[in-house]
A and B are shown apart, each in its own frame.
Chain A
């Protein structure tokens, strides 16, 4: 089974702090994704990566950056956390066959910024 793990289930940070959310997948998937999930808004794509060191902005990249130095690991960085970044963050991965592959999601990190 594909396993996607996220470094923390719950995280509390202060405004202005730099925050790192880590995601690791164990199935040699090419694609990795970061979403945020808010009530009534569903999942919104922040950034994705289709290869090591390759990244592209999703729908809501402002205030975030990402890093993919190794194939299995995709990090989401909040350079200066703000209260409006309080949310559930979901990481996902998928194989790359040139079409829309099934995404495998981690359990999520609930981030609270105070």
Chain B
């Protein structure tokens, strides 16, 4: 199984760009990388998913280098409401192999 490592916490200010990196050195060929956001007293919520290079949606971008041993979630111009815990998930769900590994989470605190 891929082991994932994330920073425990990060601080930022409103309006700044925040980059959170997840290391997954032994990622398997068919593994995807997914990021989730979790607010207190709620279950995690999907943000973005990718396999390689760059993926962008309306809330975030995900950068994955060619070797895929790490990934970076980028949140543009954060606001107070982005204060949450962010988890990376590495895994595969094909036939014959089902494996999912969450990181331990990065607590992002956004200050005014």
A residues with CB within 8 A of B: 4, 31, 33, 35, 40-45, 48, 50, 56, 58-59, 90, 92, 96, 98-108
Contact = CB atoms under 8 A, between A and B. Distances in A.
Interface of B: 1, 8, 31-32, 34, 36, 41-46, 49, 87, 89, 91-95, 98, 100-105
A104 B34 CA distance: 13
B104 A100 contact: no
18 contacts: A31-B93, A40-B8, A42-B103, A43-B102, A48-B98, A58-B100, A90-B44, A92-B43, A98-B95, A99-B32, A100-B32, A100-B34, A100-B49, A100-B100, A102-B34, A107-B41, A107-B42, A107-B43
Contacts of B93: 31, 96, 98-101
Contacts of A106: 43
Contacts of A96: 93
Contacts of B98: 48, 50, 56
A45 B103 CA distance: 12
Contacts of A90: 43-44
Contacts of A33: 100
A57 to B, nearest CB: 11
B34 A59 contact: no
A108 B103 contact: no
Contacts of A35: 102
